[in-house]
Amino acid sequence: MGLIVQYVLYMVLLVILAIPLGKYISKVMNGEKVWLSKVIRPCEKGIYKVLRVKEDEEMNWKRYLGSVLLFSGFGLLVLFLLQMLQGHLFGNPQHVGGMSWDLSLNTAISFITNTNWQAYSGESQLSYLSQALGLTVQNFVSAGTGMAVLFALIRGFMRVKEKGIGNFWTDLTRSVLYVLIPLALIESVFLVSQGVTQSPNAAESVKLVEPVAVDTEGNIIEDAVIEDNQVRVNGVLLEDAQVVTEEVVPLGFAASQVAIKQLGTNGGGYYGVNSAHPLENPTWWSNLIEMLSILLIPASLCFSFGRSIKDKKQGKAVFLAMFIVLAVALGSVAVAEQTAPTVLTENQMLDTGTTDQAGGNMEGKESRFGIAASSTWGVFTTAASNGSVNSMHDSFTPLGGMVVMLLMQLGEVIFGGVGCGLYGMLAFAILTVFIAGLMVGRTPEYLGKKIEPYEMKWAVLVCLATPIAILVGSGIAAALPGITDSLNNTGAHGFSEMLYAFSSASGNNGSAFAGFGADTVFLNLSLGACMLFARFVPIVGILAIAGNMVQKKKIARTAGTLSTSNGMFVFLLIFVVLLIGALSFFPALALGPLAEFFS
């Protein structure tokens, strides 16, 4: 019973926080005054003056798209060069050398697409300057870009017989200044109070409480007895063993990056093991706040959508569709991880009960957080295009791993990333009203505007962009013999590792089955291509839809108009989302997690 309460509490807290934040974001993006206006408005005006931006100047969809691509391209170039040249720049107390060109390109693509896929370990391969000026900055602006595109689409629905869908530079500035920076500042201060690192000092060496013995490859020797700096196991002296008495503690500006990586649905960890690292996520309270931050803004944007179109029922309907799928996914993973796989329950040496200990499948999970918090985090991070982890998804049960993989394969629209999750779901809504219109023989319409072939073509492309990238990318990789060198496992689980990697990259998520070694030229380039395709093809489609819708007139509602805010529409929307996911990925899932489960 206590576990059920814990799962329900996470969901309830998310809704309680999302509703007021959604109202605030709507006011900000619509140019209304908010309680921070007196403080931030002068700074906002100063940015427009420096950049020579006319904040009220309207852009048509092609100009808006050009601004998005130009800004993202510039960020890609700067981040790529910063990582390549970090060994020659300041802010590098660890004297870390530059990255290889292919890993630099992959990482730059990853962060400008809000994916934050990591084929590197941050504390050992990136300088403080690269982390702060490169990655953290992109965490803000990539999330802001997604929010800007969403509100361009909202204006397309709301405005009548116009051409302008807003100003990208104004939308980006407001989203970063009024929403992302204040929230990240509050969370950063809180995380520092919990013990998350925020220091400009180089890594420090500290004495271990107890020395440990390691072999020549650095592996800890079990049952070792250390006396007078000598190592014995069962009385036998090990000549090659070494005694370790100190540990290097990596420092840096972690808290400021962790806050925005969660709030901006970025997910890139400051440390290699992400939020499983005790210096990135040290306490139960830090775990709770970071986990809620993953879905906070995406959930809030559903309520922002309803307020902005002056029909709160529409926002609630979309939110409910997302929430139902999220709840079912969370329940499925919880059951799979709490009951544990047969291979564990049949092992007489293990206790998988639930009295006075975690029970279930604790492999790969932090004992500090247990199964419930780890399962919830896994579902939240793959429902959003976040990708941060506090446990190893590679160690989830086959069915638990399949659910988190499927959440990404659906297109990251179950709340999804900041902005991009909701505009992806709205593309599914357009597809849903079109299918429903065919069924009843009526011209489809959504939010008072006709849905015609132009919108349908782009909506289909938006909905299929993620499946195309995943299936084409993983199909090519599976056909290459050398890809097996990147796998930590063989058979069905090895296939799942590869499929998960391309699902994560193409879903702009960034999490991974930890056993997958992705730092090869082919994988860096192929995964990078998937990230670009899955990020910018939907943006092109959404802005094209917005540009066409904004020129249309509103249609009066009649008795035969399909309601897009009732329970039937919520059901149809969920059905269409799951239908596309099931049809696209069932064969691949049958070869991976399902085959592993039945074996």
Predicted confidence at residue 7, as pLDDT, reads 86
Predicted confidence at residue 576, as pLDDT, reads 93
Predicted confidence at residue 563, as pLDDT, reads 84
> CA–CA separation, 550 vs 61, rounded Å?
10
> CA–CA separation, 236 vs 242, rounded Å?
15
Q: Is the dihedral of CA 135, 392, 418, 523 positive or negative?
A: positive
> CA–CA separation, 164 vs 3, rounded Å?
50
302, 322 Cβ separation under 8 angstroms: yes
Mean per-residue pLDDT pooled into runs of 10, the chain (599 residues): 80 94 95 92 94 91 96 96 93 90 94 89 88 92 96 94 93 96 96 93 86 84 83 83 86 92 89 88 93 95 95 94 94 86 57 58 83 91 89 87 90 90 94 85 84 92 92 89 78 85 89 79 91 95 95 82 88 92 83 81
Q: Which residues contact 524 (CB under 8 A, 6 or more apart)?
A: 102, 103, 105, 106, 119, 518
Predicted confidence at residue 549, as pLDDT, reads 95
E strand map for 417-470: 445-446, 449-450
Residue 597 CB-density burial (10 A; 0-12 exposed, 13-18 middle, 19+ buried): middle
Cα of first residue to Cα of last residue in the chain, in angstroms, is 32
> CA–CA separation, 459 vs 451, rounded Å?
10
280, 389 Cβ separation under 8 angstroms: no
Predicted confidence at residue 354, as pLDDT, reads 53
213, 221 Cβ separation under 8 angstroms: yes
For the chain, the domains span: 204-249
Q: For residues 475, 478, 479 and 482, what is the CA-based torsion angle, rounded to 10 degrees?
A: 140
Chain centroid to CA 542: how far?
20
The β-bridge partners of 225 are 232
Quote the Cα angle for 402-433-30, to 5°: 90
Predicted confidence at residue 571, as pLDDT, reads 94
431, 576 Cβ separation under 8 angstroms: yes
SS3 424: helix
Tokens of 70: 């130009």
Size of the chain, expressed as the number of residues it contains: 599
The β-bridge partners of 204 are 249
